[in-house]
Structure 1
């Protein structure tokens, strides 16, 4: 969003054109963030998207995907005896110390997916992650009563 030379109004028009191509509307938005780096621009991204797409309706169709899960695992488990502890429990504890990220996840109804970037593209790890993410999208879609996003 912010790595462009286009003015905000032109970006808004492009977003609206994309929405028209997904008619009647998308079932899910994925907001991709890097684990160890939440920049000021990324903090503003969710607010900006809410302005464009309409707040709560947009958020009810959004999942935050956090990349570089492996970096988090190495940092969180380094020098501890937590090797068998669930990574998602460790992530929840980390959210408590990162108010900006915690707020973003809360706005998206705690829908967050940790994605590892390591591994072969054709490996089973990638397939498993894709299936897990698709399951989360399906759960969200069912929670939204199978409705698609619509800016009304």
Structure 2
């Protein structure tokens, strides 16, 4: 599998085993290990790299395990976007917000390379970061209008 991934890039081939999704407990245990290692390299380049790894792990978004948790996380992100982003705050109803969100999500997927960081592969700016996370919570697809409207209300 590793040889195929090196030849094809970073994407796994069809049939390759996929690792399970990250959970918060695994990330926290990795952070603990990184902090213990960083204590031995205080004041060196290695120590700074380990501290940066710890910082990046702390801001990593985790995909929830159950569908109820995913729906709740989508609803929180959608409500946050609706209230805090000026473009979405102008939308008068759920339907107009859902249409605007779907249009932005499709735009993001088409022009993803413009908004994503080259090293991490995640968007740098906040509205695109939230849109990318919602798409990820929907299995990598743009959610349907009815799904968006339902998640906003819950």
TM-score normalised by L of structure 2: 0.31
Larger radius of gyration between Structure 1 and Structure 2: 2
- For CA contacts below 8 A with separation 6 or more, give which structure has more relative contact order: 1
TM-score normalised by L of structure 1: 0.31
